[in-house]
Chain A
Amino acid sequence: MTLRDFISMGGYGPFVWSCYALTLAVLVWIGLSSRRQLAAELVRARRRAQVSLDRAAAGPDITEK
């Protein structure tokens, strides 16, 4: 089997390869977007944690009821 045969897939090349490309794209998207959401949520959580730790370090806040 030559490379050309492999790519042409007996004439079904465009159908076969577009399906594989689409699948790869969706899998990569699912993985990356989930990773990015986690990273973004961690940044948010860290910022919030820092604020509450700072507040605790500053002692009781009498301006808040």
Chain B
Amino acid sequence: MWLWFHKLSSPPYAYRIAGMLRPWFLWPALLMMAVAAYGGLVLSPPDYQQKDAFRIIYVHVPPASMSLMVYVAMAVAAAVGVIWRIKLAHAFAAACAPVGAWFTALTLAVGSIYGKPMWGTWWEWDPRLTSELIQLFLYLGYMALRSSFDDTQRADRASAILAIVGVVNVPIVKYSVIWWNSLHQGPSISKLDAPSIDSSMLWPLLLMMLAFVLYFAAVMCDRVRTEILKRERNASWLIENVVKS
């Protein structure tokens, strides 16, 4: 296990593995997305309160959970990079940020379109909405901080601190609907033993969330490889490999 970990953290090995794994993440992800969209748009019945508008949750909850999950992955990678000085962990963290930012922006945009017919407003300075907006700024701040350094190592270290500190916002987003009286509806699936939605509505949502995770993994395969190429410019393994292929 530790040996495997050590091996994985070596750039040539990670570069090769990422290329090999990508199709195994990508194709199942696309298939699951198609099935989940069909399940959510066609098979599941309209909600008794929200009617057909509830179908938006299938493209609102998955990016929302990704906006937090990607951040946690990024912060953990950044911490691993700082503590054990593993360059690949920093590369992973750096590769996460733009994707997380897109997921967060998507969550806010879709949520806004969802809010209009349900709440009668596009935006409200509600705890959930505001904390999710802060989440977007955390990603953007992380990216801005990185780009302000010319030296990759210094960028890695400085941005890692921001990523780790920013993690406090994750539980705030997640529990905002419970801690404060929010306009946003409460959780639908966190109580897995007794979810508050019917199984015909639940399975497409869970499938869509899994599809998003796999899609993220597929995208990260490309992004991590890009980061490795940038960081290992002069490594001999790269020079040999790249010219051969």
Contact = CB atoms under 8 A, between A and B. Distances in A.
Interface of A: 1, 6, 9-12, 15-16, 18-20, 22-23, 26-27, 29-31, 34-35, 37-38, 41-42, 44-46, 48-50, 52-53
Closest 8 CB pairs of A and B: A9-B52, A23-B59, A12-B53, A10-B52, A49-B239, A41-B229, A34-B222, A38-B226
Nearest to B50: A12
Contact of B56 (A15, A27, A49, A53): A15
Contacts, number: 99
Contacts of A6: 41-42
B113 A45 contact: no
A11 B52 CA distance: 8
User: Looking at chain A's contact residues, is the secondary structure mostly helix, strand, loop, or mixed?
Assistant: helix
B209 to A, nearest CB: 13
B222 A45 contact: no
A9 B106 contact: no
A58 B121 CA distance: 69
Interface string B182-221: 0000000000000000000000000000000001001100
Given A12-B117, A23-B110, A30-B102, A49 B59 contact: no
